[in-house]
Chain A
């Protein structure tokens, strides 16, 4: 019996216990010393990753262009909030819609191709959008957009405190997570999974695969837009790196690290990666005290280096991610 799983967490644990634990831990953030800004960051990334996972996990399409949705939505809601101090809920809704619309346009073209070609098309599109962001004055170009005020949420909730923002984000993340579950378990979701597992058969049964995949693409881009808007309003600034394709690559990593096929995967992956990226100094300081290993301290101080290491380790050791579904030879899920 092959009992060496390539994922440490399986089945029921992944579906229910892990997300429950994660949300509980996040809820109690202040109690164990979580910095609200870090918390907000990782929650935005979680929403981004949950949306991205819809496309990667259920349509097997790896887009490198999703940062376009995140960035544009961030800039748009950031700008409108700065200029008109619109309500936070409106800003979020805007992000959702912008992400969805842009996704409809890009997705309509991109899903004509599959595999590596799909990835390259999304990359090309992302670079074009990035170029437009650089050229458009309202983004602030290289300097970025700063000083985005914090409006009220639904006219009532005051978001001035960092913790208020954090809990708003937590709420939105929870909604996003539950929504993704609803989508996947709905009749729509079933058809999408059928298409993923056996495209020809699904088509023979009369399903227009393109329509379903496009809708999935739009859903995932909408989530990305929502995450971007949340980032703009919650953290108060938007820079070019929010629209750069590498951000999309990071989200891809988050989903792969967390594991495809389990809805809590992107959540776990996003938290894991964001923490590594932001808490880089911790490891480095630890090592730095050991004089002879100064070079190692220098290395581990580089988040780029560490993230790269994570990429390598996960591909080789946990190819199915922390929570992922183990895939058999024919790509079908193998549950133990």
Chain B
């Protein structure tokens, strides 16, 4: 027993915390990619997460599509919606004060959430049985098999997204545009497509996380909100320029939440804000920021 809590209980909470942390990391990765290049604060990010989950649920309910194909289909569909919104609406606020991007994307959040609420009701929709049943015995704890899968899938998502930006040719274009857009244009590259691409990547990432989360949480109109704020906190704490910083902080926050949940459950959500506030006051550029 540690501080009056069994090892099993602690391990269980930390596992949940790890999974949450991986979700925060993946979500904030998308936010960071979008903000880094477009300088737009995408308040609609949580909504795309929710839409990924909704698509998965709808896919099963109305089209009989099982979970695994939705991992590809949902991010694609939601990503395309995102690109549409970016090309038609968001591009009009490029270069303007950050408040405009914030308000515009918040507007889309409300519009989409309102629509979902109008047609599907407020309370969440349960997905049903997770796609992988059974458990995994780790010796010191028993883990539901799907949770183990979640860790793998989320990990792959994070590593994949990071690699796309940091190690591929397309990624070098994104990084160059982020650094010096004017020069890149003077070298013959039309950066408008890069902006759309970055937005697509970020949004698809959020939707993919939504798909993975669907079997374990209720997907309702407001699901995105709490994840959104924490994802923002992650980006800000990690430092707005650093991708790896975002990943580390996301996982860290999830684990901190897990710990808090074990010893003082009511504070589990607010502890993130306390950390965010402290970091912002003491470290102006965040933990790893540029």
Contacts and interface: CB of A to CB of B under 8 A. Distances in A.
Q: Do chains A and B touch in the complex (CB under 8 A)?
A: yes
A313 B233 CA distance: 28
A136 B111 CA distance: 33
Given A109-B281, A252-B103, A315-B107, A124 B118 contact: no
B197 interface: no
Interface in A298-336: 298-299, 301-312, 314-316, 319
B111 A305 contact: yes
B113 A304 contact: yes
A62 interface: yes
Contacts of A131: 266-267, 269-270, 273
Q: How large is the interface on A (under 10, 10 to 19, 20 to 34, 35 or more residues)?
A: 35 or more
Contact of A299 (B104, B114, B229, B280): B114
A278 interface: no
Given A252-B103, A311-B106, A112 B118 contact: no
Contact of A315 (B104, B112, B232, B281): B104
Contacts of A252: 99, 103
Interface stretch (B52-60, B88-96, B198-206, B248-256): B88-96
Contacts of B273: 123-125, 127-128, 131
Report, nearest first, the 10 A-B pairs whose CB atoms are least far apart.
A308-B110, A311-B107, A305-B114, A304-B114, A308-B111, A131-B270, A312-B107, A302-B114, A124-B273, A124-B277
A319 B277 contact: no
Interface string A99-121: 00000000001001101110111
A253 interface: yes
B161 interface: no
A250 B111 CA distance: 14
Nearest to A315: B104
A220 B240 CA distance: 29
Contacts of B100: 315, 319
A36 interface: no
Contacts of B281: 109, 112-113, 121
Interface of A: 62, 109, 112-113, 115-117, 119-121, 123-125, 127-128, 131, 135, 249, 252-253, 256, 295, 298-299, 301-312, 314-316, 319
Residue from the set B92, B273, B276 with the largest chain A CB neighbour count within 10 Å = B273
B122 to A, nearest CB: 10
A256 B103 contact: yes
Given A128-B273, A304-B113, A319-B100, A120 B280 contact: yes
B277 A253 contact: no
Contact of A308 (B41, B102, B107, B232): B107
Q: How large is the interface on B (under 10, 10 to 19, 20 to 34, 35 or more residues)?
A: 35 or more
A119 B106 CA distance: 14
Contacts of B89: 312, 316
A244 to B, nearest CB: 10
Nearest to A304: B114
Given A119-B102, A312-B108, 4 more contacts: A123-B273, A124-B233, A305-B111, A315-B107
Contact of B118 (A120, A253, A299, A310): A299
Nearest to A260: B99
A6 to B, nearest CB: 12
11 contacts: A62-B99, A109-B281, A113-B284, A119-B102, A121-B277, A124-B274, A252-B103, A298-B118, A301-B118, A311-B104, A316-B104
B270 A302 contact: no
Interface of B: 41, 89, 92-93, 96, 98-100, 102-104, 106-115, 117-119, 229, 232-233, 236, 266-267, 269-270, 273-274, 276-277, 280-281, 284
Contact of A311 (B41, B103, B118): B103
Given A305-B115, A315-B103, A124 B280 contact: yes
Contacts of B93: 315
Contacts of B108: 308, 312
A116 B201 CA distance: 23
B103 A308 contact: no
A311 B267 contact: no
Nearest to A302: B114
B107 A120 contact: no
Contacts of B118: 298-299, 301-302, 305
A205 to B, nearest CB: 26
Nearest to A116: B98
Contact of A120 (B112, B270, B276): B276
Nearest to A126: B273
A177 to B, nearest CB: 24
A265 B104 CA distance: 20
Contacts of B109: 308
Contacts of B111: 304-305, 308-309, 312
